[in-house]
Structure 1
Amino acid sequence: MQGASLTERRKAATRWDIARTAAALFVENGLRATRAEDIARAAGIAPRTLYRYCATKEEAVAPLFAVGSQQWVEAVRDAPHTLSLPDALRYAAARTLAAAPGDTQGTESLEWVRSLLRMAADSPALRSVWNDACRESEATLATVLAARAGHPADVGTLDIRLTAATAGAAVRVAVETWAASDAPATGPEGPAALAERCLASTAGASRSG
């Protein structure tokens, strides 16, 4: 968080700690059995403090849903401009949707996302948090795509919005498909590999159309 104030960094750290604590409790005890008060106690904060960061217990894990998708969008922004757009999207997926060797924190976060997405299948509230994270990522991606095209003012045009929505859906489907499986977080059936395949498929469909 370059340029962020100390207060903002502290808030971000607290929000991340709450998310990790909530995810661990959901996995250990189940979503229904975990109360917001349990999350606050385990995180070492007062319940009223918890509610300043999230309105519901399900919203507590929003940072875990958001971090991967936002990192992917930022990687699209930072991808070499010599790459075509489809290649830039796949380049970003390969670098952000798989934990690096030895990155235990990254692997742990991915496994939490898998567990949370499985819980979301039976929890409309948790599914809504996931959908919100995907929509926010899609909106950010639209601004990135417009900037890469050299037309930042065109973020609301049909082509930019459709491209962002299609790419976002491809990555979402890949992550959800991986989460529903027992495949490891790396390898040919991991989220990064599946995302690359989905993105390649949508690019091929676009060219054939």
Structure 2
Amino acid sequence: MGTRDGTPVMSGATQHENRAGTAPRPDLRQRRRASVRREIALRAIELFDAQGFGETTVEQIAAAAGISLRTFYRHCAVKEEVLTPLLTEGVEELVRALAARPSGEPLVDAARTALLAGSSVNGADTRRTARVMLAEPALKARWLAAGRRAQDLLTPVVAERVGAGPGEGVVAAALAGMLVNVATTALEYWALHPDGEPLGVVTQEAFGAVAAFGRPGA
């Protein structure tokens, strides 16, 4: 950050981060809290996968995470919220990755690369999380809500990439919604077909179909 006439001026990188909707780096307390919530989520998904969502109690989740029941409720008001940290992590990684792509790269190519760039995307935890959440109505609602949040966070990033003006908000929102839907479709298909193609191939095919849409002969 520099100054201009005594007034602080943000660098281009800082301005870009703010437009992309990224939050300032969390402090130590926030990072510890996030770490605990993530550990709870990982232990919960293991239990949900092994014995079912309905059959898993919060007491079992707390015990598996090595915390007290009181600590569990300090981080999760209800059992249905326990996997939220994994969804939040994935959404934020996607937004950061897309914001970091070269400005001249085609939007569909940038989004495909951004989806695969997240450190949490390709692992068994992601596949298991998607499979469990899609099978349980109470959790599927959270999965769908995460997609909506992704669209909201991606819209300003997309607007900047395509040069959408103040009166063209619907254009950026529509493009962001399209990208989220394609990414979600690819992730869900990959998660529900464990013997199928790798995520990279599925994602390439899904985004390739969108890129080809509208071309002559498509």
Match among 201, 204, 210 for residue 193 of structure 1: 201
Task: State the 1:126 CA deviation.
Answer: 0.9
Question: Residues of 1 paired with 2:85 and 2:199: CA distance?
Answer: 18
Question: Residues of 2 paired with 1:116 and 1:32: CA distance?
Answer: 16
Which position in structure 2 is the counterpart of 1:137?
150
Alpha-carbon distance change, 116 to 87 in structure 1, aligned in 2, over 3 angstroms = closer
Which position in structure 1 is the counterpart of 2:90?
68
Q: Conserved in 1, the CA contact under 8 Å of 2:98 and 2:111?
A: yes
Task: State the 1:168 CA deviation.
Answer: 0.3
Structure 1 residues without counterparts, runs of 5 or longer: 100-104
Task: State the 1:65 CA deviation.
Answer: 2.8
Counterpart amino acid of 1:163? L
Which position in structure 1 is the counterpart of 2:10?
none
Indicate yes or no: 2:204 matched with 1:204: no
Counterpart amino acid of 2:124? E
Question: Residues of 2 paired with 1:60 and 1:200: CA distance?
Answer: 34
Which position in structure 2 is the counterpart of 1:182?
194
Match among 24, 30, 37 for residue 8 of structure 1: 30
Indicate yes or no: 2:76 matched with 1:54: yes
Which position in structure 1 is the counterpart of 2:106?
84
Structure 2 residues without counterparts, runs of 5 or longer: 1-22
Task: State the 1:38 CA deviation.
Answer: 1.2
Q: Conserved in 2, the CA contact under 8 Å of 1:65 and 1:113?
A: no
Q: For this pair of structures, how many residues does the alignment match? A: 195
Indicate yes or no: 2:41 matched with 1:19: yes
Task: State the 1:135 CA deviation.
Answer: 1.2
Task: State the 1:18 CA deviation.
Answer: 1.0
Task: State the 1:66 CA deviation.
Answer: 3.2
1:99-114 aligned at under 5 Å gives the runs 110-114=123-127
Question: Residues of 2 paired with 1:153 and 1:20: CA distance?
Answer: 41
Which position in structure 1 is the counterpart of 2:115?
93
Between structure 1 and structure 2, the one with the greater Rg is: 2
Aligned alpha-carbon RMSD (Å): 2.6
Q: Conserved in 2, the CA contact under 8 Å of 1:73 and 1:141?
A: yes
Question: Residues of 2 paired with 1:123 and 1:71: CA distance?
Answer: 25
Alpha-carbon distance change, 58 to 17 in structure 1, aligned in 2, over 3 angstroms = same
Question: Residues of 2 paired with 1:115 and 1:86: CA distance?
Answer: 26
* Equivalent position SS for 1:157: helix
Task: State the 1:52 CA deviation.
Answer: 2.7
Percent of counterpart pairs with the same letter?
A: 31
Q: Conserved in 2, the CA contact under 8 Å of 1:146 and 1:153?
A: no
| TM-score, with length taken from structure 1 | 0.80
Which position in structure 1 is the counterpart of 2:53?
31
Indicate yes or no: 2:166 matched with 1:166: no
